[in-house]
Amino acid sequence: MADQQTDWIGKALIVVGDATETVDTLYPFYRLQEAKIQPVVIAPENRVYQMVMHEVRPGWTITREWEGYQIKADLAFSEVDETEYLGILFSGGRAPEYIRYDEDLVRITRYFFEQNKPVASVCHGVEIPAYADCVRGRKMATVAKCKFDLEVCGGEFVDEPCVIDGNLVSGRTFHDNGHYVGPWIRMMEEAAAAAGS
What dihedral angle (degrees, nearest 10) is formed by the CA atoms of 15, 136, 104, 48? -20
- For residue 97, give the nearest of 52, 58, 140, 67 by alpha carbon: 52
Of 54, 124, 175, 179, which is the active-site residue?
124
Please report, as a single letter, which amino acid is at residue 104: D
Q: Is 175 a catalytic residue?
A: no
Separation in Å, CA 11 to CA 72, 84, 88, 176: 17, 7, 9, 23
Residues known to be catalytic: 124
